[in-house]
Amino acid sequence: MLESTFVGAENQGYPRLRHRLTYATVNYQECKSMSEDQEAQEDELLALASIYDEDEFRRAESAQGGEIQVCLELPQDFKIFVKGDKQTEHDVSFLPPLILNFELPPNYPSTSPPKYTLSSKWFSQAQLTAVCRRLDELWQENQGNVLLFSWIQFLKEETLRFLCIQSPLEIVSPTKALPERKRSEAGMKRAGGAPVEVSWKEPLDPRAVVEVDPRTDILPQLLDFNEAQRQKVFDSKVYCCGICFSEKLGSSCLCFKECQHVYCRACMTEYFQIQIRDGNVQCLNCPEPKCTSVATPSQVKLLVGEELFARYDRLLLQSSLDLMADVVYCPRQMCHTAVMVEPDTTMGICSSCQYAFCTLCKRGYHGLSHCRATADELRNLRDEYVSASVDGKKFLEQRYGKRVIQKAVEESYSREWLDQNCKGCPRCGTNIQKVDGCNKMTCTSCKQYFCWLCLSQLTRLNPYSHFNNPASPCYNQLFQGVDIDEDDDFWSDDEDE
């Protein structure tokens, strides 16, 4: 209709009307094109929202755009190599994503490409510049068509090959205050390869954004992200518990890191609680027979309450300190603080209560004097000394002194003889030896009558009633265990008068 009107007006010689109709035609085509662009943009954004979850794609609220986080596909057995004083390797399955922030102009995709920035925590700006240049090339090849999905696929599947990055990914120590070119070179080395066809004479693309200062140690961030992603994958899978044989999601299970054995959290919570209450904090290992994998403190904290975890933490620290030769505990009952001891000294000073004590006998510090042994220690000292090695005997002599050791040995032998041949008076405790005679005894110290069999105190008026009373435990046992000699007068009390 517009074309027929335009032809008729031209034949009638109306150039101004021709100009207006031409403008209207162009304007109409532009409006039609803009409408098609907006429809294409909306379809593309809806498609991205349906393909990727909220963690990967977030649409902008105020404009036609959004943010896409692209995790690169790593080959199997991909490693990170740490170069420095201590060279180590780490197996990783995930690395922090490339982040593509974009905004779609009104005439995309018909005429203009998306406006974007590309950022990363572990790529250098030079590498990101090369990737940006490749994204621009993809737009030139596909101009007029939506291409965000193509960009995402390239970033995800081809970036490592495009930048010649291979395993192991080398991480070097952070550099200090390097100029831009040196920082880029450090980033290049850190990322493990050189970008394709990058010349240092070319300016770095302002759309390429490095999120981390090159002087920062990025290794912890890489390992933390890898662990978080692995846990995310684990939580979404179904596993069979090796104890109750129930199938549960990984989010309801515990996986031991060393052996990768999986058990449900309900079973492991009960198991950990029992072990911690019993004080077996070193035994929170995998229930699989002969498996030595141990749960990490973070796993234990996730399953048990705060009270039990505090007990676990305290006992674990104490057991670790007990294995350290230079750590002792303050002997005061209300303190028990761990104390570091200087080498070749026997003095410890508690940092909490300021108590100075001997690390050998745990009493107040006594300088160069020998430790004083208690009665109970003397009783055990002889056996320890006799069975000790040469070095052990020297240590005991240095600790207590030779005279104390000799006295302990003599007294222990004497005490053994007394224990085997004597009984203590029930009144004063004097050791009494029974050489002969009946079971009515007289203490040589306090003159108390007592029964040799049951050590009961006997009355002075009639000591033998104890043996004549049917209710007595020693009834008719006055001569129990005695070889009677007819010439002896057992009934005489002259010695007691």
Catalytic center residues: 438
Name the DSSP class of 165: -
**169-172/79-83 β-pairing:** parallel
First to last CA, the chain: 156
Retrieve residue 111's tokens: 């005429």
Rounded Cα distance between 137 and 165, Å, is: 21
Closest-CA residue to 288 (of 310, 315, 256, 320): 256
Say if residue 52 is exposed, middle or buried (CB neighbours under 10 Å; 0-12, 13-18, 19+): middle
In 3D space, the residue among 152, 142, 155 whose CA is nearest the CA of residue 113 turns out to be 142
- Please choose, from the candidates 223, 226, 286, the residue with its C-alpha nearest in 3D space to the C-alpha of residue 253: 286
Give residues with Cβ within 8 angstroms of 192, minimum separation 6: 165, 166, 167, 168, 169, 170
Does residue 1 sit in helix, strand or coil? coil
- The crossing angle, in degrees rounded to 10, of helices 265-277 and 306-322 is 60
DSSP string, 234-296: HHTSEEE-TTT--EEEGGGEEE-TTT--EEEHHHHHHHHHHHHHTT-GGG-B-SSTT---B--
